């Protein structure tokens, strides 16, 4: 059994944006010695998220609108209140939005390729950018 | 170490329905050579979801009502707008509901059986049916 | 390859509370023979949840308020209605809140330590306490 660890850092440009990282993950898997197994991808952050969905401009706008509807940025969150928190980023909304989406993905590798359906893409949601974000990837399996 | 891959296809009957797939997953695990390890279950779709919860008729109705409250089907989503999208299924709500629930499960196998609590069942939510849905399962571990 | 299984039980004190279980998980990983691999943590319950986020008193209050906003406890859920359900705990809200947060975590182990970012903590949300809750942990990898 082989375990292959790597990480990479992405720079985001907007406060809230969704990036397609499928190609990056495919390249990491091709560099690994694993042909059949698991790829585990974790963000090392509390205000960004990883998930699988379709990457379409219209749908990305809908996702942003949906997250804004679910968690208002300007509600009186205690995490944003200097009397209760030493957080200077005013990013309670980003923490709560990250809860909904999740911080990791566990994907199957078969024949050296990540297993995805026709419309599935590996997406990273920046929720409090712009910032540098580190993803750690562990690939686990047999050659 | 053994890696066992399989998939199956389910036909759903309603636009939005929750199915109990626990028995199907138990059968797949029994067919595999793994007694101690992980079962990773992924949908290959962007408008259905997998999760663990109780399977009770009253609670399933509550789940459907909850998803409808969280994501209105008829809000003016861009993904449903022919000026912005070539999607002809008008299913933005299904994509957004899938984000909340997740597309995969990672379960423990011990003594040849999936580890579940008393009320836990393995559930698949169809969010844009009726359709045929493919689940891919990877079982990973030692005999 | 080594597979190490264990479980522990936590007693919660409030109906809705978030606990930091990072230290407990670190101790379990140190007791295991695995230095490089995966730690899979599952609750065996349908009304509590596991997730990763920052552990800060102000933010925990925000999380509780957010869950209460997302899922009203006193909406007329069928799961709480004796005409439709034999559930005597009136906990439909807890089931629905658990759906949003998820019931398991898959974490990386490297150099004998769980891989977490600076602000990341392993959190358990009790959603229908006070109760005893069992977590099952499977550690999987090479020494």
What is the DSSP code string of A43-81? ES-SSEEEEEE---HHHHHHHHHHHHHHS-TTS--GGG-
For residue B15, pLDDT over 90 is answered with yes
Is B71 part of the contact surface with chain A (CB cutoff 8 Å)? yes
A106 contacts on C by Cβ (under 8 Å): 106
- Nearest chain A residue to B107, by CA: A106
Confidence of residue C1 (pLDDT cuts 50, 70, 90): confident
Q: Is B141 in the C-facing interface, judged by CB distances under 8 Å?
A: yes
Task: Locate the chain C residue with the closest alpha carbon to A72.
Answer: C66
pLDDT reading at A50 higher than 90: yes
Residues in B closer than 8 angstroms to C92, CB to CB, are 59, 62
Summarised one tens digit per residue, pLDDT across range A123-135 is: 999 999 999 999 9
Mapped onto helix, strand or coil, the DSSP state of residue A10 is: strand
> What is the structure's pLDDT at C94?
98
Interface partners of A (3+ CB pairs, < 8 Å)?
Answer: B, C
Q: How confident is the model at residue A61 (pLDDT cuts 50, 70, 90)?
A: very high
On the question of pLDDT at C88 being above 90, the answer is no
Supply the pLDDT for residue C80: 95
Give per-residue pLDDT as tens, C4-61.
Answer: 999 999 999 999 999 999 999 999 999 999 999 999 999 999 999 999 999 999 999 9
What burial class does residue A27 get, using C-beta atoms within 10 Å of its C-beta: 0-12 exposed, 13-18 middle, 19+ buried? exposed
Contact A52 B45 (CB under 8 A): no
Q: Hey, is A93 helix, strand or coil? A: helix
Q: Which residues pair with A9 in a beta bridge?
A: A134
Q: Would you state the pLDDT for residue B88?
A: 79
Query: How confident is the model over C55-84, as a mean pLDDT?
Result: 96
A68 — pLDDT class (breaks 50, 70, 90)? very high
Tell me, what's the pLDDT at C90? 93
Q: Is the confidence at residue B89, as pLDDT, over 90?
A: no
Residue B57 contacts by C-beta under 8 Å, 6 or more apart in sequence? C84
Q: Which chains touch C (3 or more CB pairs under 8 A)?
A: A, B
The answer to whether A96 contacts C57, with C-beta atoms less than 8 Å apart, is no
Strand partners of residue B48 = B126
Q: What part of B 40-59 touches A (C-beta under 8 Å)?
A: 40, 42-46
Lowest mean pLDDT among A51-65, A84-98, A100-114: A84-98
The chain-wide mean pLDDT, for chain A, equals 96
Q: Does A98 contact B at CB distance below 8 Å?
A: no
Tokens of A87: 């957080």
CB contact under 8 A, C66 and A106: no
| Residue found under tokens 């399962």 | B137
Determine phi and psi for B38, rounding to 5 degrees. Answer: -120, 140
* DSSP symbol at B107: E
Q: How near does any CA of chain B get to the CA of C123, in Å?
A: 18
Structure confidence at residue A77 as a pLDDT band (50, 70, 90): very high
Token pair belonging to B85: 């999208």
β-partners of residue C8 are: C135
Q: Which residue of C has its CA nearest to B39?
A: C40
In the structure, what pLDDT confidence band is assigned to residue A88 with cuts at 50, 70 and 90? confident
Q: Is the pLDDT of residue B1 over 90?
A: no
Cα-trace Rg, chain A: 17
Question: Is A89's pLDDT higher than 90?
Answer: no
pLDDT in the model for residue C133:
98
If residue A109 lies in a helix (H) or strand (E), which one and from where to where?
strand A104-110
Residue C99 sits at the chain A interface (C-beta within 8 Å): no
> The whole model's pTM is what?
0.97
Give me the mean pLDDT over the B113-127 stretch. 98
Q: For residue A21, how far is the Cα from the chain centroid?
A: 9
The 3 state secondary structure assigned to C42-70 is EECCCCEEEEEECCCHHHHHHHHHHHHHH
pLDDT at residue A63 greater than cutoff 90:
yes
CB pairs under 8 A between A and B: 91
User: So what's the pLDDT on residue A101?
Assistant: 97
Contact call for B87 and A118, based on CB within 8 A: no
Is pLDDT above 90 for B13? Answer: yes
Tell me how far apart the alpha carbons of residues A2 and A91 are, in angstroms, rounded to a whole number.
39
Query: Minimal Cα–Cα distance from B109 to chain C, Å?
Result: 9
Partner B contacted by C26 (CB < 8 A): no
Confidence of residue A1 (pLDDT cuts 50, 70, 90): confident
B131 interface with A at CB cutoff 8 Å: no
Q: Which residues of C touch A45 (CB under 8 A)?
A: 117, 119-120
ipTM above 0.85, yes or no: yes
């Amino acid at each position: 059994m082989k375990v292959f660890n790597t990480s990479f850092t992405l720079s985001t440009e907007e406060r809230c944006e969704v990036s397609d990282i499928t190609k990056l993950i495919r390249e990491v898997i091709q560099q690994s010695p694993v042909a059949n197994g698991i790829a585990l991808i974790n963000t090392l952050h509390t205000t960004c998220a990883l998930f699988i969905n379709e990457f379409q401009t219209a749908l990305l706008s809908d996702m942003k609108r949906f997250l804004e509807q679910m968690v208002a940025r300007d509600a009186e969150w205690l995490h944003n209140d200097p009397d209760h928190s030493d957080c200077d980023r005013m990013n309670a909304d980003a923490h709560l939005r990250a809860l909904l989406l999740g911080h990791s993905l566990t994907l199957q590798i078969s024949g050296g390729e990540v297993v995805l359906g026709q419309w599935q893409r590996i997406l990273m949601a920046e929720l409090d950018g712009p910032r540098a974000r580190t993803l750690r990837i562990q690939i686990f399996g047999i050659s």
